[in-house]
Amino acid sequence: MSFSESSLPELTAEILRLTRLHATLAHDKNRPADARTEAFNPGQTQVPYSARVFTADEPEAAVKSSLEFWLTLGREGDAMEQELAAALGVRRSILVNSGSSANLLAVAALTSAKLPPDKRLRPGDEVITCAGGFPTTVAPIVQLGLLPVFIDNDPVSGNADCSQLEAAFRPGRTKAVMLAHALGNPFDLTAVTAFCRTHDLWLIEDNCDALGSLYSLSGKAARLTGTFGDLSTQSFYPPHHITMGEGGAVNITRDMRFKVIVESFRDWGRDCWCASGVDNTCGKRFNWQLGELPEGYDHKYIYSHLGYNLKPLDLQAAIGRVQLRRLPSFGAARRRNWQRLRTGLASLENYFEFSLPTHATAWTPDGFTWGAVKGPRADPSWFGFMLLVRGDAPFTAAQLTRHLDEKKIGNRRLFGGNLTRQPAFVQLRRDNPEAFRVVGELTGADRLMQSALFVGVFPGLTNAMLDYVIDAIGDFCRSAARTGSTPS
């Protein structure tokens, strides 16, 4: 069989047809729960805490992009950035290679000399964050010569204890707040945004676990998290709400000055804002005079920041565009699965304190109860279902995690627990006792470290899987209560 250039459309169509067939046959376990055909065998089939969820559409998009072989960010990347920004309702989204890189770029952007001198973060300036969470929410603060100030966590919501914000503030030193929405549960954006307005501070929302979560200020319409801060970040790592394999984004909510700053830090620190393969967008490529360079030095090789190379591939963006269209159904599945677990575990309140959305006062089978009638509300697109083991329970969180692992039920601790107790931060304090500051005793973060774990709610979990998780946890608790020791 011979082919010519005129055969390319036909050949491409056949490649994509076979790609879809292969994906359908090879990846049944990665389909949304209602599309899976493989039987679930309790105790034998793994129940992940999270995983990629896709159909044949995503491999087709990836293969189609690979056939074009542009590789670095291009047409697919431009489209993904526009579609993500539109979905969130922000001014601009800038793709990067991971959520951790997104956090690094968001903090780096606040150090840019392109910002007003009184707003720019400089070495030694303080950024308020919370002790319990994922390390790369905090690591960029340290890596860029800034000082993290740790406030405590509320162990029930998993989020920052915002009653400590004022105690953490130092006039002239505190310049920003950087907090994550724990397990998709929005932190108290009412308190945090008011605090930042009062003291003229930057706010970065780490939205990596919360894409699709909603929050409403008192009497206001609900908005997506990631739209309240000056900057926000996303992760598209496989366990997250949508995936590009690796990947992430920095979202610019209002101030478009950040566009060229974030892109510069992402793209080697260069001053030029031309896309890859494009020249002279500014129309004066050889007419700039910046720094101490000679006039007319090629603008594509002028660097205004000490930057990085943190771009993803165009192929990843092609996958992300398909995944982004699934976000509403994925969010609905996460909320539905969380509710099924909460209902099924309701009889175990003697053993666990269950999470509540921020501002909720109680859970009922019909939903949540709230305080003020028109007060703030949080509607999480849950990343996981947290189990906070009570202090008087006849077992520990560590014992429960081992039991679930034996039953092939995926679970995780609440990321790094109290980060100040992690080896990296213990060593940091030994090397420099003033490398970070702590407010209070961090008892909430310690409790999360000792007693919290979570199981999955992602869209690939079937009802049979969720019911198996419910039964396994219930059997474990009842056995421990009867015998006074944990089941083997």
The reply to whether 292 and 355 lie within a common domain is no
| 281 falls within a domain | yes
* CB-CB contact of 296 with 286 (8 Å): yes
| 460 falls within a domain | yes
The reply to whether 332 and 201 lie within a common domain is no
Q: Provide the CA 410 distance to its chain's centre, in angstroms.
A: 19
Model pTM? 0.95
| 337 falls within a domain | yes
The reply to whether 210 and 340 lie within a common domain is no
* CB-CB contact of 136 with 144 (8 Å): no
The reply to whether 156 and 305 lie within a common domain is yes
Number of domains composing the chain:
2
The reply to whether 101 and 147 lie within a common domain is yes
| 16 falls within a domain | no
Domain boundary among 287, 322, 357: 322
Domain boundary among 307, 322, 337: 322
Q: Residue length, the chain? A: 488
> Residue 467 belongs to a domain with what CATH number?
3.90.1150.10
Q: Decide if pLDDT at 3 tops 80.
A: no
The reply to whether 419 and 316 lie within a common domain is no
* CB-CB contact of 48 with 456 (8 Å): yes
The reply to whether 234 and 93 lie within a common domain is yes
> Residue 158 belongs to a domain with what CATH number?
3.40.640.10
User: Could you say which DSSP state residue 186 is in?
Assistant: -
Domain boundary among 322, 347, 366: 322
The reply to whether 143 and 248 lie within a common domain is yes
Question: What is residue 38's predicted lDDT score, i.e. its pLDDT?
Answer: 86
For the segment 413-434, what is each residue's pLDDT rounded down to a tens digit?
A: 999 999 999 999 999 999 999 9
Cα(44)–Cα(130) distance, integer angstroms = 39
Q: Which alpha helices (DSSP H) does 345-389 contain, by range?
A: none
| 17 falls within a domain | no
The reply to whether 127 and 239 lie within a common domain is yes
Query: Which sign does the torsion angle of CA 157, 53, 310, 227 carry?
Result: negative
The range of the structural domain enclosing residue 208 comes to 68-322
| 390 falls within a domain | yes
Question: What is residue 488's predicted lDDT score, i.e. its pLDDT?
Answer: 52
* Stretch 268-291: mean pLDDT: 89
The reply to whether 341 and 314 lie within a common domain is no
For the segment 326-341, what is each residue's pLDDT rounded down to a tens digit?
A: 999 999 999 999 999 9
Cα(327)–Cα(318) distance, integer angstroms = 15
| 136 falls within a domain | yes
Question: What is residue 368's predicted lDDT score, i.e. its pLDDT?
Answer: 95
Instruction: Quote the tokens at residue 153.
Output: 């966590």
Question: What is residue 327's predicted lDDT score, i.e. its pLDDT?
Answer: 98
The reply to whether 250 and 381 lie within a common domain is no
The reply to whether 82 and 210 lie within a common domain is yes
Residues 181, 240, 241, 299: which is the catalytic one?
Answer: 240
| 4 falls within a domain | no
Which amino acid appears at position 148 of this protein? P
Catalytic: 241? no
